[in-house]
Amino acid sequence: MIVIPAIDLRGGRAVRLLRGNPEDETSYSEDPVAVAVKFQEEGARRLHVIDLDAALGEGDNRDAIQAICHAVVLPVQVGGGIRTIEAIGGVLERGAARAILGTAAAADAEFVARAVEEFAEHIVVGLDIRGGKVMVKGWKEEGPSLEDAIPMLDEAGAPRYLVTSIARDGTLEGPDIRLYTQVLKLTTTPIIASGGVRHADDVWALRDLGCEAAVTGKALYEHTLKLSQVIRG
């Protein structure tokens, strides 16, 4: 079980949104590169970086992403606004180890198949879930149901899924165990869980369910969880 610290970028800062709401933002650092280096020093094995501006169609944080990738030796998975083959190539060229596909993947399994054919294990398919639906376009619009999306994406060859519970994201209310139980019944593809992690017991619960990894941000920033508690899990 790998715990992956999250760095969400907005306007060049490391921030967290509550349930994806751009109007409910907490800023944690003006220097996201320093945050990344600190997570590396604390024992992180991978980093999760999301360009919120790109996801929301409000610009991008490409320079900050490249700086983070070059400042650490850890593999970095990057998401936010990656909707074309060219965008995937661009983020990998900037130093990312994986590109997370969101809106484009949920709406177009053929795109996922093309991406996997070209970039293989460098692809992660993001599924942001609210009320059993995959949410797209910055979590503003409903896409397909979870039951429809996963078989379609499995057939397209998705190497792994990043499944986010929007209702739990940034809340420190614990992960949505029911959601991940459902997802793990629908696929044998590796699952990265995201949303709601507050302390070590949540990590172990996700591990025991069968999740490959857990992304957490706010728990680390608010010190309800320390990487030293879970890096050996």
- Summarised one tens digit per residue, pLDDT across range 142-189 is 889 999 999 999 999 999 999 999 999 989 999 999 999 999 999 999
Instruction: State yes or no: is 208 an active-site residue.
Output: no
Q: Read off the pLDDT of residues 155-165 as tens digits, 9 standing for 90 and up.
A: 999 999 999 99
Task: Give the residue from 155, 156, 215, 209 showing the smallest Cα distance to 183.
Answer: 209
Of residues 51, 53, 128, 176, which has the active-site annotation?
128
* DSSP conformational letter for 120: G
CATH (domain of 223) = 3.20.20.70
Q: How many domains does the chain have?
A: 1
Q: Domain range spanning residue 60? A: 2-230
Q: Read off the pLDDT of residues 58-83 as tens digits, 9 standing for 90 and up.
A: 999 999 999 999 999 999 999 999 99
SS3 67: helix
Long-range contacts, stretch 204-212, CB < 8 angstroms, 24+ apart = 204/1, 204/233, 205/175, 205/177, 206/1, 206/175, 206/177, 206/180, 207/1, 207/233, 209/177, 209/180, 209/181, 209/184, 210/184, 211/1, 211/180, 211/184, 212/1, 212/2, 212/160
Of residues 8, 169, 176, 202, which has the active-site annotation?
8
Q: Read off the pLDDT of residues 17-46 as tens digits, 9 standing for 90 and up.
A: 888 788 888 899 999 999 999 999 999 999
Instruction: State yes or no: is 128 an active-site residue.
Output: yes
Provide the residue type at 92 as one letter. Answer: L
Q: What is the pTM of this model?
A: 0.94
